[in-house]
Chains A and B, each alone.
Chain A
Amino acid sequence: MRAVAVIGVGKTPFGAFPCRDLRSLAVEAGENCLRNGHVSPERVESFYLGNFAGPSFTGQNHLAPYVSMALGIPGVPSTRVEDACASGGSAFFHAWTEVAAGVHDVVMVVGAEKMTSQPTPPVSEILGGAGDCAGEMRAGNTFASLFAMIARRHMHDYGTRREHLAAVAVKNHANGALNPGAHMRKVITLEQALNGKPVADPLTVYDCSLISDGAAAVILVPLDRVAEFTDKPARVLGIAQASDYVALDRKESITTFPAVRRAAAQAYRMASVQANAIQFAEVHDCFTIAEIIATEDLGFVKPGEGGPYAAAGCTARAGARPINASGGLKSKGHPVGATGVAQVCDLVLQIRGEAGDWQVPRHALGLAQNLGGSGATAVVSILGAA
Chain B
Amino acid sequence: MRTGIVYTETVIYSAPEAFTKDAPYQSAIVSLDGGGRVTGRILGERVAIDDRVAEAEERDGVPYFRKALP
Binding site for B on A (CB under 8 A): 120-122, 124-125, 128, 134-142, 144-145, 148-150, 152-153, 156, 197-203, 247-250, 254
Extra A-B contacts (20), CB below 8 Å, given A152-B10, A156-B49, A202-B10: A124-B14, A128-B16, A135-B38, A136-B27, A136-B39, A138-B60, A140-B22, A140-B25, A140-B41, A142-B14, A145-B27, A149-B8, A152-B9, A198-B13, A201-B10, A201-B11, A201-B13, A248-B39, A249-B29, A250-B37
The answer to whether B15 and A140 touch across the interface, beta carbons within 8 angstroms, is: yes
Option from A141, A156, A254 in Cβ contact (under 8 Å) with B27: A141
Closest A residue to B31 by CB, please name it.
A249
Option from A125, A145, A197 in Cβ contact (under 8 Å) with B10: A145
Option from B8, B13, B17, B41 in Cβ contact (under 8 Å) with A139: B41
* Majority-rule SS of B interface residues: strand
13 CB contacts below 8 A, A to B, read A121-B20, A122-B17, A124-B15, A125-B17, A134-B61, A140-B18, A142-B12, A152-B49, A199-B12, A202-B10, A249-B39, A254-B7, A254-B8
Q: Chain B residues with Cβ under 8 A from A248's Cβ? A: 29, 39
Option from B10, B16, B20, B38 in Cβ contact (under 8 Å) with A149: B10
Question: Does any Cβ of A come within 8 Å of B68's Cβ?
Answer: no
Q: Chain A residues with Cβ under 8 A from B18's Cβ? A: 125, 140
The answer to whether A121 and B8 touch across the interface, beta carbons within 8 angstroms, is: no
A145/B8 contact (C-beta < 8 A), A124-B17, A153-B49, A247-B39 known: no
Option from A134, A153, A200, A250 in Cβ contact (under 8 Å) with B14: A200
A134 to B37, CA, bound (A): 14
A198 to B18, CA, bound (A): 19
Which of B13, B37, B38, B62 gathers most chain A CB within 10 Å?
Answer: B13
Which of A128, A140, A197, A247 gathers most chain B CB within 10 Å?
Answer: A140
Q: Chain A residues with Cβ under 8 A from B12's Cβ? A: 140-142, 144-145, 148, 199-200
CB contact list, B20-36 vs A, under 8 A: 20, 22, 25, 27-29
The answer to whether B39 and A139 touch across the interface, beta carbons within 8 angstroms, is: yes
The answer to whether B62 and A121 touch across the interface, beta carbons within 8 angstroms, is: no
10 closest pairs, A vs B, by CB?
A: A148-B10, A121-B17, A149-B8, A136-B39, A140-B19, A249-B37, A153-B8, A124-B16, A125-B16, A201-B11
A139 to B41, CA, bound (A): 6
A249 to B62, CA, bound (A): 13
Closest B residue to A128 by CB, please name it.
B16
A152 to B28, CA, bound (A): 11
Closest B residue to A127 by CB, please name it.
B16
A249 to B50, CA, bound (A): 16
Closest A residue to B6 by CB, please name it.
A152
